[in-house]
Amino acid sequence: MGTADEIRRSNRSLTLRLAAGAVAMFGFGYLLVPFYYLMCDVIGIGGRTADAVAAAPQSVATGRHVTVELVGSVNESAPWEFRPKIATLDVEPGRLYTATFSARNLTDLPLTGQAIPSVAPATSARYLKKTDCFCFRAQPFAPTETRDLTVQFYLDPELPQYVDRLTLSYTMFVKPAAEG
């Protein structure tokens, strides 16, 4: 221990460094956001399908059969009616399929919907490829409008053999106004 003055100076510099550490950790909390999505992309988790348009499938007759269940739901009693037209599809990996969902705006106001996809089991999400999807875009609806929404997808033949059933679900949200 040195003189009182030295101690005061060293207290001050250590305090400032520790406070800077706390501020840096606050920033680190925000850094976890991009890091999380990076990890999800690298490992292929999160149950999300890629937002990007996939190339058309190389047609391979695999002779394999996978059941794809389609689910449409709304959250927080959002004013939609939203359901798949067919609940299950028998899918051969490598071939292109089209699934249709029916959506209705239950209000008397124009409404913009945004569907968010999720795949279960989550680890299979990266094998479900979409060449086109209503979820790629916001969907504007006129008051009380009913419309069909379609998704074109195929299963990558690389899909692990033990997966014989997967669920593709969409949740229809009202797009937040701030997002335009």
Can you give the binding site for another protein, defined by CB under 8 A?
1, 7, 10-11, 14-15, 18-19, 21-30, 32-33, 36-37, 43-48, 75-76, 114, 116, 120-123, 171, 173-179
Query: Closest CB to another protein among 94 and 117?
Result: 117
What is the C-alpha to C-alpha distance for residues 43 and 85, in angstroms, rounded to an integer?
A: 32
Q: Any long-range contacts for 131-137 (C-beta under 8 Å, 24+ apart)?
A: 131/53, 131/54, 131/55, 131/56, 131/96, 132/53, 133/49, 134/101, 135/170, 136/51, 136/53
Burial class (CB in 10 A: 0-12, 13-18, 19+), 128: buried
Query: Closest CB to another protein among 52 and 55?
Result: 52
Residues 6+ apart with CB under 8 A from 171: 73, 74, 75, 115, 116, 118
Query: Closest CB to another protein among 25 and 56?
Result: 25
| Minimum distance, C-beta of residue 39 to another protein, in the bound complex (Å) | 9
HSE-CB for 35 with a 13 A CA cutoff: 6
Query: Closest CB to another protein among 53 and 56?
Result: 53
| Minimum distance, C-beta of residue 63 to another protein, in the bound complex (Å) | 28
Q: Give me Rg for the CA atoms of the chain.
A: 24
Query: Closest CB to another protein among 59 and 161?
Result: 161
